[in-house]
Amino acid sequence: MLFLKKTFPHFATGLMLSLVSFTSIASVTEFTLDNQMKVLVKQDNRAPVVVHQVWYRVGSHFEHSGKTGISHILEHMMFKGTKDLKPGEFSKIVSKMGGSENAFTSTDFTAYYQVVGKQHLSEVMRLESDRMRNIILTDEEFIKERDVVTEERRWRTEDKPSGKLYEQFKATAFMSSPAHHPVIGWMSDIRSWTAEDARNWYQQWYAPNNATLVVVGDVDPQDVYALAKKHYGKNKPEEITAPRPQVEIAQEGERRITLKGATKTPSILMGFHAPTLVTAKDETEKQEVFALEVLSSILDGDDSARLTKNLVRKEQVVASAGAGYDGTDRLTTLFMFSATPSEGVPPEKAEAAIWQEINKLKTELVSQQELERVLAQSEAQYIYHQDSTQSQANVLGSLVSVGLPADTLDTWVDELRKVTPEQVRAVAKKYLHEDKVTVATLIPNGKQVKKSANHVSHAGGAH
């Protein structure tokens, strides 16, 4: 029923006073080491815990055809030992501290993190700085891990029609940009990687001058800086060459694909190329990004938003519908829509219903009430977000990794507040254009699921 779909902002003016007076919201302290590694620290004394993360500026948007997914497999290999540590030992040490740890790979960054009691900060820094430059990447370990990644791909994508649809949708919406590729890589690329590929990728990108350290928790920024100098300061920088531009070609007409999948219900995805704070060439385009953010919240910020209110509840033409846009991507992104038609409604009717909402936005101004709701939600989200040190660290790391200021989130609501109804209408007209749309439709392949269970019972242990 009433679930907020988004983790980030929506918000209210009338009742918003400055919340900042209530709690002193800790600011972020920034340092740069001599080897050009960035350090960001945010103090949060609510628990004797610290989140420690290292973010490398590399991900699937840095990759080329034939080598897709190499950033992701390298992330797996980072747990396979260094000159001083056996495979898996890193995780065991952190586990014994009572810590939790993991890593994730995205389009523009690869991040490694530990959450530990604050007394262990120096030790996790020592471990993380060691694997920044000293991993041992053997052929044998690599081949095993490559198999693990093929299983991961099967689990995430191959047996999930919705996962396949998204992948093929992205590959259609982006033709020349690396956003064409899935983060995990295409299966045939995965199968053909070699350990040497991963070693080269590591050498090329894993260096202090291509990394950001983020620490959030019960720490003093100066202490963190001193520790960072001690542990990370000794790592030598690498010459980092920016990836080739691979700019997305202009779209001159609608693109459309159909996927027949193992599903019982059709669904659609629609997307339009859109700028981001990073790609914006000037202030005017930056303003457009915030207008697009407001637009996306008005369509799908919460269950008062237009898609749910008009299409799910009132017209009942779709069982669910959503819109999504992330103005903090490093490359040109997509303003997206998704929908599952109601029972018996053909997908083209759901698509027409989305267009009807888009067209309203192009012709009529959004109401002041809608704008205020977007602001109220964003203000509140800003507070809620501080309940989790990890979420605070994730936001900081992802912003800085794509080249945005660390305080981007702190000024977010103020930027949204400047957006006018006219600007919202203007970006709807400019970007949600019928010649710029990519549509992907998933339809049932008509295969019946055979559920012929054969039950074999044994009285005893059948091993």
| Catalytic residue ranges | 75
The region that residue 98 occupies, defined by phi over 0 for left and psi between -120 and 50 for alpha, beta otherwise, is left
Q: 107, 72 in Cβ contact below 8 A?
A: no
Q: Which is nearer to other proteins, 33 or 216 (CB)?
A: 216
The letter for the amino acid at 121 is: L
Q: 106, 183 in Cβ contact below 8 A?
A: yes
Q: Which is nearer to other proteins, 340 or 423 (CB)?
A: 340
The letter for the amino acid at 358 is: I
| Chain Cα centroid distance, residue 333 | 12
In sequence order, what are the beta bridge partners of 138?
none
Q: Which residue has the tokens 């799910």?
A: 312
- Least Å distance, CB 126 to other proteins, is 18
Under DSSP, the state recorded for 25 is P
- Least Å distance, CB 50 to other proteins, is 10
Cα–Cα distance measured from residue 296 to residue 323, given in angstroms and rounded to the nearest whole number: 6
| Close Cβ partners of 329 (under 8 Å, ≥ 6 residues apart) | 107, 108, 276, 278, 402
The letter for the amino acid at 20 is: V
Q: Which is nearer to other proteins, 6 or 273 (CB)?
A: 6
Q: Which residue has the tokens 């990644």?
A: 149
Cα–Cα distance measured from residue 57 to residue 357, given in angstroms and rounded to the nearest whole number: 38
The letter for the amino acid at 238 is: E
| Close Cβ partners of 126 (under 8 Å, ≥ 6 residues apart) | 231
- Least Å distance, CB 35 to other proteins, is 26
- Least Å distance, CB 233 to other proteins, is 27
Q: Which is nearer to other proteins, 99 or 221 (CB)?
A: 99
- Least Å distance, CB 394 to other proteins, is 8
- Least Å distance, CB 117 to other proteins, is 6
Phi first, then psi, for residue 181 (nearest 5°) are -90, 145
- Least Å distance, CB 218 to other proteins, is 9
Q: Which is nearer to other proteins, 326 or 351 (CB)?
A: 326
| Close Cβ partners of 125 (under 8 Å, ≥ 6 residues apart) | 52, 227, 228, 230, 231, 232
Q: Which is nearer to other proteins, 13 or 35 (CB)?
A: 13
Cα–Cα distance measured from residue 410 to residue 402, given in angstroms and rounded to the nearest whole number: 17
Cα–Cα distance measured from residue 38 to residue 234, given in angstroms and rounded to the nearest whole number: 14
The region that residue 302 occupies, defined by phi over 0 for left and psi between -120 and 50 for alpha, beta otherwise, is beta
Nearest residue to 336 via CA among 269, 405, 406: 269
- Least Å distance, CB 88 to other proteins, is 6
Q: Which is nearer to other proteins, 108 or 351 (CB)?
A: 108
Q: Which is nearer to other proteins, 91 or 168 (CB)?
A: 91
Q: 54, 182 in Cβ contact below 8 A?
A: no
